[in-house]
Structure 1
Amino acid sequence: MILLASIFNWSIAIAYVLVGIVLAVLGGTLIGRAKMENNVEAFVLHNKVLDLPQEQLTLRDRLNYAREQVAEVIQRVWLYVLVGVCIGAAIHNWIPEALITTLLGEERWWSVPLAVLVGVPMYADIFGTLPIAEALVAKGVGLGTALAFMMAVTALSLPSLIMLRKVVKPRLLALFFAIVVAGIVLIGFLFNTFAHLFV
C-alpha cells in the first residue's frame, strides 16, 4: 500500500485496497451461496493433520508440518509456475509498450477488458506490476485500466489459476474466474469514470 501510494497517491492506494476487499467479500459471499462445497478436491478435505491436540503441538511440530506442506505443494506445482512465469516474461519482453498503450488508451471503451485479458497470462505480484502500471498511466492509459491490469495479474495470473485448479474442480474455478473478472472490469470502469476524484 505504501509503494502504491508513493507511485500514485494515498487516495488511490486506499481506494485500491478497499475495492479489493469489497470484491473479495462479495465474491466469497456469492461463491458461498452457490453451495459448491462438492467442487473442492477430495484431498483438501481429507488432508492429513497432526494427531496431537493443537495445544500440545510444540513449535518444532508446527515448523516440521509447515515444511512438509510447503515441500508437497512445491513438488506438485513448480512446473506449472515455471510455465506461467515464462509466458508472462515472453509477453512482457516481446510486446512493445507503444502497442499496449495504443490498445489501452484512456478513451477506448475496450481498454479495461483488454487490460484484464492481457494481465491473466502474466505472473507477478503487486511489486512487479506497479512499475508497469506507472508507465502505462504516464503514457495515457486510464487509471482504472492500469489498476484493472494490476488486479488481473495478481488475482488471475495463469500460475495462480493453475495452482487453484489443483484444489478446486473446474466448475468452481470457472465461477471464481467469472466473478473476479466481472468485479475487476467493473472496478476498472469506475476508476476510469471517477479518476478526477483521485488527482
Structure 2
Amino acid sequence: MGIFQWLNDQLLKMQWLSDLVGVLVRDVFGLDLASRVGASIHFFIYDVIKIFILLSVLIFSISYVQSFFPPERTKKILGRFDGITANILAALLGTITPFCSCSSIPLFIGFTGSGLPLGVTFSFLISSPLVDLASIILLASIFNWKIAIAYVVVGLILAVVGGTFIGKAHLEDQVESFVFGSPSIELEEADLTRKDRVDYAIDQVKEVVQKVWIYVLLGVGIGAAIHNWIPESVITALLGQDKWYSVLVATFVGIPMYADIFGTLPISEALVAKGVGIGTVLSFMMGVTALSLPSMVMLKQVIKPKLLGLFFGIVAVGIIIIIGYLFNFLGPIFI
C-alpha cells in the first residue's frame, strides 16, 4: 500500500513537480507560497505542466489502442450485437473515441447512416465526450481513485440507460433524412505497421493539444482564481452542500461553456477545495462535456427538436439526480 501511494503521489499527482515549482516560485521569483500571488502562480504553473504531461502520455497511449478500432471496424463490431449488449458495447467503445461531443457527432452520423440502431448510436454519443480512458487517470491525479472510478462507472451507466430509453422510444423519424441518405462507404481496413500506429498516435497528441490548450489555460487560470482569490464563504453561499439548488446551478452554468474534461478539472479541483460537494462538481463537469451549447447547436442540424429534447432531458436528469444529488449524499465515501 505504501508503494502504491508513493507511485500515485509521484506519477499521477506529480508531487515532485509541485515541489520543483515551489522552489521556482519561492527562490527564483522571490514570492511567498503562502501569499495569494505566490500560491496562484504555483497553482497555475504546476497544474498546466502536470495536465499537459498527463494529456500527452494518455492521448498517445489511447490513440495507439484506438488505431486498432477505425470507424469501419467499430461499425462491424457493433453490428454483431443487439439489445442491451449493443448499448453496453457502444458505451465502452465511446471511451476510446474523440474527446468532445462536437467531434463525436460525425461518427454518430456515420453509424446511424450505416443502419445501426438509434439507441445504440446514442449510447455511443453520450459516452464519447463524457467518459474516456484518460478521464480515469486525470481524475485520479486531481482527486482520488474512488472518485475517478465512480465517475466512469456512472457515466457508462448513464450512456447505456439513456441510449436504451431512446431506442425504446422509436424516434427514427426524428433523424434528419440526409443522415440515412448519406452513402455508407465500405473501406478496407489498412494493415498498419507499428510505426504507422506510433505516427498516428503522435499526430493525435498534436491535434488534441492544439484543440484544448486554450481551454486548459483558461481552466487553470479560473481554478487558481477560485482557489486563492474568491473567499470560501462566497463559493459555499452559492454552491455549498447545504444548498439544494447547487447541483442545478452547477449543471446549467456548465452548458454555455465549450470545453472538455481537461479544461474543467482545475476548476473542479478548486471548487472541491472550497467545500463544494463532489456531486455538484461532477455535475458541472458533465454539464460542460455532455450538454455544451455548441454541441447542441451541431446536433440540432442532425436530429429534430423532439429527439433533441429527449436526449437533452435524459442526460440532464441523469447528471442532476444520479450524479449530483446521489454523489453529494454519498460524498463522505469518496472524499
Match of 2:148 in 1: 13
Distance 1:106 1:6, change over 3 A: same
Q: Does 1:191 align with 2:327?
A: yes
TM-score when scaled to structure 1? Answer: 0.76
- Give the CA deviation at 1:166: 1.4
Amino acid at match of 1:189: Y
Equivalent position to 2:278, from 143, 148, 152: 143
1:37/1:4 CA distance change after superposition, 3 Å: same
Deviations 1:3-44 (A, max 9, x none): 110100000000000000000000001111111011011111
Alignment TM-score, normalising by the size of structure 2: 0.46
- Asked if the contact 1:101/1:136 (under 8 Å) is kept, the reply is no
Amino acid at match of 1:25: V
Alignment-mate amino acid for residue 18 of structure 1: V
* CA distance in structure 1 between the aligned counterparts of 2:301 and 2:235, rounded to whole angstroms: 32
2:183 corresponds to which residue?
A: 48
User: What does the per-residue CA deviation read over 1:83-105, in whole Å, with 9 as the maximum and x for residues that have no partner?
Assistant: xx9xx99xx79x99665553111
SS state at 2:244 partner: coil
2:242 pairs with 1:107: yes
Runs of 5+ consecutive residues of structure 1 not aligned to the other structure = 60-84
* Equivalent residue runs for 1:5-84 within 5 Å: 5-50=140-185, 54-55=187-188
Aligned pairs, number:
166
2: CA distance between counterparts of 1:161 and 1:123? 11
Partner of 2:57: none
How far apart in 2 are the matches of 1:97 and 1:24? 35
How far 1:163 sits from its partner (Å)? Answer: 1.3
- Which whole-Å CA distance do the structure 2 matches of 1:105 and 1:131 have between them? 18
The alpha-carbon deviation at position 116 of structure 1 amounts to: 0.7
Structure 1: how far apart are the matches of 2:263 and 2:172? Answer: 34
RMSD (Å) for aligned C-alpha atoms: 2.4
Paired residue for 1:130? 265
Larger Cα-atom Rg = 2
Separation of aligned partners in 1, 2:311 and 2:262: 24
Superposed CA offset, 1:55-80 (max 9, x none) = 4x768xxxxxxxxxxxxxxxxxxxxx
Correspondence for 1:4: 139
Q: Are the counterparts in 1 of residues 235 and 274 from structure 2 also a CA contact under 8 Å?
A: no
Answer with 7-16 or 132-141: which moved more.
132-141
1-structure distance, mates of 2:235, 2:300: 29
